Structure 1
Amino acid sequence: MHYVTVEGLTKSYGVTPLFENISFHIEEGDKIALVALNGTGKSTLLKILCGKESADEGKVWIHKDVTVVMLEQAADFKPHKSVLENIFDHDHPILNAIKEYEHLTDNGAEPDATALTNAIAKMDELNAWHFDAKVKQILGKLNIHHLDQPVGTLSGGQQKRVALAKVLIDIGFEHKHTLLIMDEPTNHLDVSMIEWLENYLDQENVTLLLVTHDRYFLDSVCNEIMELDDNTLYIYKGDYENYLERKAAREESDKASTEKARNQYRKELEWMRKQPKARTTKSKSRQDAFYEVKERAAKRIEQQQLELNVKMTRLGGKILELKKVYKAYGNLTILKGFDYTFKKGERIGVVGRNGVGKSTFLNLLLGTEKADSGKINVGDTVVFGNYSQQGLVVKEDMRVIEFVKNIAENFPLADGTKVSAAQFLQLFLFTPEKQYTYISKLSGGEKRRLHLLSILFRNPNFLVLDEPTNDLDLPTLNILEEFLQNYQGCIIIVSHDRYFMDKLVDHLFVFEGDGEVRDFPGNYSQYREWEKDQEKIKAPEVVVEEKTKEPENKARKMSFKEKRELELLEKEIESLENEKKQLDAQLADGSLPYDQLESASRRIGEVMQLLDDKGMRWLELSEMAS
């Protein structure tokens, strides 16, 4: 089914064009990533597609049966209302029934018997139990609990997860044909959540257009990449590796074409200067062609040829030592007797689920927070560069070039030469025109890029990077990675970007909770493989452990919700088994048309997965009931 057609779309802000005369199509089942430099119109294009902004020129056609649902970077919530009320804010019978049932059973107290009976009857009447199970899965995987808490009291990361849950719930409850648009969906998610979201979007029959900086996520989820570059849209079918190969080939071709145009431009310029004032029709047509050649010849190819061999402050023998460091907030233990001595050139990644104290650990290193006990000794030669999640802080609005020159006029290189502030800005993709833009006019991603650049321009010898990839575009990430790979100082990184971590770190500090920190010798992907191996080794121990805990499970009384869930699971499993038998028979018959065969094959996979999941849950609840 054809979902979207975009023809001749143009959008500018003032005299600056974001994109000009772009066209593309979206078909059912497409999973497309939109790639571009920050400030070149990615978010604007997404908002045009969902009707929140209008284009200057061109047409957007969306099929009448298609519903467009968008996850924006900044969630639009009613802060005084609860998480539950914000998630289920549509006036839809199924959502209303689930909201009422969740409200009665989620607060921990024993619900009013009459109200609960009515809520269960309503759920039965609307056949809402399957969807309620899906809602529980989404909320659980995104670590969203305490549904009665006002959204205004949540952190920015928690609000982003609630917004994501709302979008995933919205696309599932009634819309058969949905275009899901997502702007940086992985921001504020820990790695386990990102991996779950990858699998969820891969399994769901959803048509997707997203902007993301997470290249593993992009590679796992998307089958097409659209790139906005120099006001033009380029479309690449396939994965991220294919995109890189074809983009490199295109840029090489563009470079050759530009060189040819420049040679032709010189010849045409010579001819133009020789012409008399009164020109024939023939010479007039050649004159028009001259301006086309001139435009091609002047085209700027984005190739960064400036390589920085950085001259930084020398690191002494003593860099940074932590001796028997303890840190806790109330019941949350962050460090429990942590010891470590940093060595020259170390590149350490810090990983762990949200809320275990990774950012607090960085603040201890920087001295902005104090340890409860123990010693943190910083060497006299250490110059920290701290890239925090707080973002860019500017006392007064000024132009980009002025802001950087206030730090320093030049950046020193190892060979004794210097790079000017303007050259350094251009390395990080701030064009000469953009350098004279006021900071207040930059996009959110451009401000993040400028903040990062300002940290690096101070020439520190110990970089502390807290989620440096959030809101950065892929071209900037590639440049940052190249810069850091050549960097001679120490680096410690907190990041959920697995691709970024794999390229840069030598080993990991894994925050496992309760103050335990594992020093793992390898990158993130190697750690995940090790973790999976450990789970396999420990599997028999888990069975024994569950048996020893059986009396404890027996002692706990099942809640109303769990009893009802057990009853419904038996019916759902029976229904799924019947559906599986029917699908097996259809596939064995061999007479199905291709589209129905494909649909049946996909559905039988979904049914088998549901049977596995519901079977495990049934066993768990059955043990509790017995």
Structure 2
Amino acid sequence: MLLTCQSVSKSLGDRTLFEGVSFTLHPRDKVGLIGPNGVGKSTLLKILAGMEHADDGQVEVRKGTKLVYLAQAESFNDADTVLEAALKLLADEPLDEAAKLAAAQVWLGRIGFADMGQRVQTLSGGWRKRLAIAAQLAREPDILLLDEPTNHLDMDGIWWLEDTLKSASFAFVVISHDRAFLNSVTTRTMEINDCFEGSLYAQDVPYTAFMEQRDGYLETQQIRRDNLANKVRREVEWLKAGVKARTTKQTARIKETLRLQEELSGLKSRTKEAKKVEIEFEDTERKTKRLVVLHNVEKSFDDKCLFKGLDLTLKPGMRLGLLGRNGSGKSSLLRLIGAMDAPTMGTVTLARGVRIATFDQNRQLLDPEQTLRQALAPSGGDAVIYRDELIHVASWAKRLRFRSDQLQAAVKRLSGGEQARILIGRLMLESADVLLLDEPTNDLDIPSIEVLEDALVTFPGAVVLVTHDREMLDRVSTVLLALDGKGTATAYADLAQWQADQKATLAPKKEIKKDVNKEEQQTEVKKEKVKLTYKLQREFDLMEQTILEAETELETLQNNPVDATAGQAFTDYCAALGAAQERVDTLYARWAELEAMQQGMSA
């Protein structure tokens, strides 16, 4: 075996992170380490790496084993070139300079760096992460410890890392919230959680199969707890009957009862239901069918065109997932939709009074010097207003799974996942028609991600989502839009369709170009065939207002019913109500017809 972790415990202040953690690591082990935020996953990884000390227990690494640690946040000198930064991480390796240079160049090339003389300060977050991964792999580890390696990586980067880890000859332990990634690269899963004896539950299966076995184990523990509780109750009743320890047998039974009570107490503590963050977004109940309309939109920076000719209509119930490499324009498109930036060409039209709420992956909306209490109640005071209800900030914090002793902590002292939950809480306080979310899953634990997915799926308004979490994209999105960063935006029904298309790009370029030109020619013909006349276009432009007026008339009738005993008045009312409903239905059908014609024109 390469590494042994024996009865390791760690506390922060008076809070126990984990207690009695034990496991072994063998050559080629591929381990996923999961658990809720705050249970000490990153701390355990640092203890394994020798960067932190355990309170109790020990970690033994086999002599001659090279252990390499990849942190969540990389630290480079921005003035260095990519190659210089990698070589600095190789400085202590027992290799000559030529071997170090060769190793750095090989791994930087494999991960996609074409220009190794590029300055670190010019790299995006995703490329900085690639640099960190390549530099650590160049050290040729026997054990690699990775803490959230997919954060900030685009899909290409994640796929490359998956292929590398799946074929790796070294052992690794990876902390990740990316369920698809865990299923792809791991063959063993360990969860740190105080609901398990020894704070750890492990099975030799990937994530999804692990969760099934975990649920079965917890159900068994629940049954065991209930059976033990019944047994303890009977023994306590026996004691209450006034039995005295006059015989050796009675004395032994009393001791056994006390032992059972202690065992039951431990089981109750471990099997208590873990609290999840409660997420539910509030919509404005707006009836407008078109919330945001982009027409012939282009966005360019200097000589680089990110996308052009983009036509997009956001409607209630639509959940748009954005795909593309880092720098392809996903965040730029979010900013256009949110009216935070202007297009280079084309128009972005927002429905009158539309409300848009935004989640920023850079967390620029957070003041690091504020306390958690202040950050959770941005309007000031000791309470927030949620769904017209006044909620004390302490209760609001509890709903977002914060502890009461954290309320006075500075935001800068909170973990990335905790900061993400603050921003999600702020979104919940905004009554919105459109939610724009830029990498909301970064640093969130898996239970929180799953609750967030539920909230987005049930949100009545429109959602635009940028995330590298493939499970979330597949579950939440009703349509996907892929940006290639070279001017083209392509719609897909699901992630599998996009992935298949990505593989198709391996076909000869001449053939692909020919197909694209043919499709463009067909599209131009289609545009000419279905171009709206001036009269139809004007009808289409006024349709939203016409429908709103018709719905207002219908709502007025519905809110002022006539008594059924009112004779002719009731008959007239029913006729008017039916006519109003029919008019609304007819207008919606006509709108759909006109919209189909217009979409055909811009397909």
Q: Distance in 2 between matches of 1:5 and 1:170?
A: 22
The 1:141–1:357 alpha-carbon spacing in structure 2 relative to 1, beyond 3 Å, is farther
1:85: how far off? Answer: 1.9
Q: Distance in 1 between matches of 2:151 and 2:375?
A: 30
1:452: how far off? Answer: 2.3
- Matched with 1:528 is 499
1:299: how far off? Answer: 4.4
2:425 paired with 1:453:
yes
1:254: how far off? Answer: 3.0
The 1:53–1:351 alpha-carbon spacing in structure 2 relative to 1, beyond 3 Å, is same
Matches within 5 A, 1:223-242: 223-230=187-194, 232-242=199-209
The 1:532–1:449 alpha-carbon spacing in structure 2 relative to 1, beyond 3 Å, is same
- Matched with 2:108 is 139
Query: 1:463·1:490 contact (CA, 8 Å) conserved in 2?
Result: yes
1:62: how far off? Answer: 0.4
- In structure 2, stretches of 5+ residues that fail to align are 516-603
Deviations 1:110-155 (A, max 9, x none): xxxxxxxxxxxxxxxxxx6xx58xx44x324533243234434544
The 1:493–1:281 alpha-carbon spacing in structure 2 relative to 1, beyond 3 Å, is same
Q: Distance in 2 between matches of 1:93 and 1:249?
A: 48
Stretch deviating more after TM superposition (331-340 or 64-73):
331-340
Q: Distance in 2 between matches of 1:239 and 1:325?
A: 43
Q: Distance in 2 between matches of 1:301 and 1:345?
A: 36
- Matched with 2:129 is 160
1:476: how far off? Answer: 1.5
Aligned residues: 502
Matched to 1:541, the amino acid is E
Tell me the SS of whatever aligns to 1:143.
coil
Q: Distance in 1 between matches of 2:170 and 2:328?
A: 33
The 1:498–1:3 alpha-carbon spacing in structure 2 relative to 1, beyond 3 Å, is same
Q: Distance in 2 between matches of 1:220 and 1:4?
A: 24
Tell me the SS of whatever aligns to 1:210.
strand
2:511 paired with 1:541:
yes
Instruction: Select the residue among 190, 215, 233 that pairs with 1:248.
Output: 215
Matches within 5 A, 1:73-472: 73-89=72-88, 90-91=90-91, 96-97=97-98, 135-136=105-106, 138-171=107-140, 178-230=142-194, 232-263=199-230, 283=254, 286-287=257-258, 289-299=260-270, 301-302=272-273, 312-317=283-288, 318-391=290-363, 393-394=366-367, 396-399=369-372, 403-404=376-377, 409=384, 411-412=386-387, 428-430=400-402, 439-472=411-444
- In structure 1, stretches of 5+ residues that fail to align are 101-127, 546-626
1:251: how far off? Answer: 2.4
Tell me the SS of whatever aligns to 1:248.
helix
Q: CA RMSD in A?
A: 3.5
2:16 paired with 1:47:
no
Tell me the SS of whatever aligns to 1:380.
coil
1:359: how far off? Answer: 0.6
The 1:25–1:469 alpha-carbon spacing in structure 2 relative to 1, beyond 3 Å, is same
Query: 1:444·1:471 contact (CA, 8 Å) conserved in 2?
Result: yes
Q: Distance in 2 between matches of 1:310 and 1:241?
A: 28
Q: Distance in 2 between matches of 1:435 and 1:72?
A: 27
Query: 1:258·1:299 contact (CA, 8 Å) conserved in 2?
Result: no
Tell me the SS of whatever aligns to 2:129.
helix
Deviations 1:317-365 (A, max 9, x none): 2311112223211011123232222122001111111112111111111
Tell me the SS of whatever aligns to 2:138.
helix
TM-score (norm 1): 0.72
Q: Distance in 1 between matches of 2:385 and 2:229?
A: 32
1:32: how far off? Answer: 0.2
Q: Distance in 2 between matches of 1:281 and 1:454?
A: 59
- Matched with 1:38 is 37
1:54: how far off? Answer: 0.6
Q: Distance in 2 between matches of 1:475 and 1:3?
A: 31
Deviations 1:158-179 (A, max 9, x none): 32221111011111xxx6xx10
1:421: how far off? Answer: 6.5
The 1:535–1:145 alpha-carbon spacing in structure 2 relative to 1, beyond 3 Å, is closer
Matched to 1:67, the amino acid is K
Tell me the SS of whatever aligns to 1:451.
helix
Q: Distance in 2 between matches of 1:406 and 1:267?
A: 55
1:195: how far off? Answer: 1.0
The 1:544–1:500 alpha-carbon spacing in structure 2 relative to 1, beyond 3 Å, is closer
Matched to 1:394, the amino acid is D
The 1:485–1:24 alpha-carbon spacing in structure 2 relative to 1, beyond 3 Å, is same
Query: 1:157·1:188 contact (CA, 8 Å) conserved in 2?
Result: yes
Q: Distance in 2 between matches of 1:15 and 1:523?
A: 47
Tell me the SS of whatever aligns to 1:88.
helix
Deviations 1:12-48 (A, max 9, x none): 0001111001100000010000001111111111111
